[in-house]
Structure 1
């Protein structure tokens, strides 16, 4: 596993070298089929990661947001989101990140969250404590918070839960102490530092959550779907993350409202 961690770190370094010069610069923005923004930074960063993995671990598969799957049925599969939070990136907010996850036989076993602008990096490996480094400080460890009423809830956007399909989310939001919008993958990193208690999202793709599972679970948290089931490549895209596993039953009950 050490060689794979090293490969992930080099891949993140290469992606960051592409992304940083383009951050807060004039970018050519297009619209994807799903109308989300995409920039030359997304594509160039994913190419840099893929090229490195192809040289270093040629037997591994890759699933990436920008360039799709390559041998997705391999025993080891990398799942990549070169810029998670593109809207934050193109508006100059350092709430985006590069996500590099590794699945073994369909299960996430390694995850890396990298924030190229702030120099922060989280590394999670199944069965190990999560590691964090960065100039802004912080200590790894999800904080105890067994009561939803005392919990800080985060969600990237209320648009994830359209009217008529948001009853469960609104019930959880009402029960929580406070809700913060935005953050994308950065919110999960903050949960691993004990600053956020619950993240609830929907319409997530494997590259949106694959790297997050080992990071959060190595910090003491849990990541499931809205019904409490483990996430897999076949999961429908609803994600529930809690810093304190004691929150999980109450969150599931509220989301099922």
Structure 2
């Protein structure tokens, strides 16, 4: 791909999430949520933000498909597709906890090649390019606020962090867990703290495709180790398949050498 294309993609994500994020800040902690069929929460802010993102994509990239948490869960039969989550961390958003984000993942032929996650309350923007065996070319690396990020090289200890999600607290049955535990309430940032060197590891027991598509590319680009707790491959996604109820239990680690330490503690989450 031409360099201009990737510059357009990055500028689009920065501009669009800045605009949507500024309006979401006004609604932050001020809206009521309702419960969806899967038990997760949704607000009118999720719904208008979803519409704003989809409209912006349709205008800037009319030949790209879109899969969104709040609307279309069927993966389209297009070479390029955006997978979006207008508010990751809706519970935090509704309760006034300043950790929630906007997630945009760009897939080529079913596999993420670019990810962008904005976390407006802490003024952080993460992005990364990961082309793998797609045949595409362009910029490389992963970044937070324009600065390159990489996972930690520290060994496990009581002064290092490991993130759980609400559905993985069974991990706490292990009395001698090798790190301090944190629970952030936002899947994307949970995993991004590993890619950016804050935590040594993180686990998400039931993330959906919109929780992980953008982060998958960023984590790969940063050099983190992504380990699926399910035997089935995540990517490429299949055109025409409905991904609304598909979960992807995931372990992410700062170093591949940490797998023997942490995998036995969390692998039951994939069953």
With normalisation by structure 1, the TM-score equals 0.84
1:202 to 205, 216, 221: 205
Provide the residue aligned with 2:66 in structure 1: 62
- In the TM superposition, residue 35 of structure 1 has moved relative to its aligned partner by 2.5
Corresponding position of 1:78? 82
Determine the structure 2 residue equivalent to 1:177.
179
Match of 1:144 in 2: 153
Q: Which residue of 2 aligns with 1:8?
A: 13
2-side partners of 1:96 and 1:171: how far apart? Answer: 28
* Aligned counterparts, 1:155-194, within 5 A: 155-157=164-166, 160-161=167-168, 166=170, 169-170=171-172, 174-184=176-186, 185-194=188-197
The 8 Å contact of residues 143 and 243 in structure 1, kept in 2 or not, is answered as yes
Identify if the C-alpha distance between structure 1 residues 173 and 7 changes in structure 2 by more than 3 Å, giving closer, same or farther: farther
2:266 aligned residue: 255
Distance 2:23 2:93 in 1: 13
Distance 1:132 1:92 in 2: 24
Matched, 1:245 2:245: no
Going from structure 1 to structure 2, the CA distance change for 1:2 and 1:91 (only over 3 Å counts) comes to: same
Q: Quote the offset at 1:176 in angstroms.
A: 2.4
TM-score, normalised via structure 2 length: 0.80
Q: Is the 8 A contact 1:113 1:189 kept in 2?
A: no
Aligned residue number for residue 46 of structure 1: 50
Q: The residue matched to 2:53 in structure 1 has which SS?
A: helix
Distance 2:79 2:175 in 1: 39
- Aligned residue-pair number: 246
The Cα shift of 1:93 comes to 0.9
Q: 1:118 to 1:4 in 2, by over 3 A?
A: same
Q: Which runs of 5+ in 2 are unaligned?
A: 1-5, 132-139, 238-242
Structure 1, gaps ≥5 residues long: none
Comparing 195-204 and 215-224, the one that deviates more: 215-224
C-alpha contact (below 8 Å) 1:130/1:216 kept by paired residues: yes
RMSD of aligned Cα (Å): 2.6
| Cα offset, 1:251, TM superposition | 2.8
